[in-house]
Amino acid sequence: MTAEHPETSSRLSGTITALEVQARDQSRVNLYLDGRFAFGLSAKTAADAGLRTGNHLTTEGIAVLLQGEAKERAFLQAFNYLSFRGRSVAEMERYLLGKDHAPETVGTVIQRLRDLHYLDDSVFALSWVENRQRSKPRGARLLRTELMQKGIKRDTIDHAISEASGDETPLALDAARKRAATLRAADYGEFSRKLGGYLSRRGYSSDVVWSTVKNLWAEHRGRGAVGDRDGDDEDRID
């Protein structure tokens, strides 16, 4: 219970004698019962409830009013959370529960966000994979781990990866070329350890990793990037 909603509000009842806009937040009002401050609430909640001076509020009516206010506050917090980036349902649930909202309030807000299409795990998963592949390409294994951590169901993840990723090989090859340009390796063994480790950490499958490493090594040899002095100093790249 916040300072605006003191614990004693659960025992309040009386006649509304004033509804005053708050000085620091004009989207909220202070409600007075029988000449005494009772609690604050959003102007939207007050308007939706049709509150007017002279209205009589019972204890039960105030409880319903404050429940509605809690849901409105949670919705606004959720909307702000979404303003930074899209969220999964599980992320939103954890966030709102962390704000000390009741599970019932959280469930109502999440359903409202779903109905308004602000929360959709299928859309979120697909967008996540597409954004990752544009900015920081990575393999299906790592993408799957990331999305599972965000509470996305396995079948939803599989569909998103299938839709957005396609063949991993071109993505792995592009990432590997950029990385290989910065590597210094004495031979194929060192080259494969460094580049293979880099690709593995980005979630590419072992088949894709090692076929990419071999292709890149062949490219470097073909460009003469490998020194072969008298046939003894084999497979060096700078």
CB-based contacts of 124-129 (< 8 A; 24+ apart in sequence):
124/86, 124/87, 124/88, 124/150, 124/152, 125/88, 125/152, 125/156, 125/157, 125/159, 125/160, 126/159, 126/160, 126/163, 126/164, 127/86, 128/86, 128/160, 129/160, 129/161, 129/163, 129/164, 129/165
Q: Which residues of the chain, if any, have pLDDT below 50?
A: 1-4, 6-8, 225-238
Q: Is residue 208 part of a domain?
A: yes
Same-domain pairing of 15 and 104: yes
Range of the domain at 89: 7-115
Same domain, 27 and 82: yes
Give the pLDDT confidence score for residue 17 in this predicted structure. 97
So what's the pLDDT on residue 186? 63
* 201 and 232 housed in the same domain: yes
Which residues are CB-contacts of 226 (< 8 A; sequence separation ≥ 6)?
220, 234, 235, 236, 237
Predicted pLDDT of residue 165: 64
Residue 1 lies in a domain: no
N- to C-terminal Cα separation, the chain = 65
Residue listed under structure tokens 């781990």: 145
* 127 plus 38 within the same structural domain: no
Q: Of the residues 76, 92, 115, which one is the last residue of a structural domain?
A: 115
pLDDT in tens, 97-106: 999 999 999 9
Q: Which of 102, 137, 164 is the last residue of a domain?
A: 164
Q: Are residues 150 and 70 in the same domain?
A: no
How buried is 13 (Cβ within 10 angstroms: 0-12 exposed, 13-18 middle, 19+ buried)?
middle
Q: Is residue 76 part of a domain?
A: yes
* 141 and 229 inside one domain: no
Domain count, the chain: 3
Q: Is residue 157 part of a domain?
A: yes
pLDDT at 179: 80
Shared-domain flag, residues 33 and 74? yes
Last residue of a domain, one of 100, 129, 164: 164
Are both 157 and 172 inside the same structural domain?
no
Let me know if residue 111 belongs to a domain.
yes
Contacts of 135 (CB under 8 A, 6+ apart): none
H or E segment to which residue 197 belongs: helix 188-201
The per-residue pLDDT for range 128-142, each reduced to its tens digit, is: 998 887 777 788 888
Q: Quick check: is 2 in a domain? A: no
Here the CATH number for the domain that contains residue 147 is 1.10.10
Domain identity same for 135 and 186: no
- Tell me what pLDDT residue 3 has: 39
Same domain, 140 and 226: no
- 18 belongs to a structural domain: yes
Co-location of 100 and 127 in the same domain: no
pLDDT score at 238: 32
Could you list the beta-strand ranges (E) of 127-232: 226-227
pLDDT, residue 10, reads 57
Tell me the whole-structure pTM to 2 decimals. Answer: 0.68
Instruction: Give yes or no: residues 94 and 13 share one domain.
Output: yes
For residue 23, the domain's CATH number is 1.10.10.10
Whether 67 maps to a domain, the answer reads yes
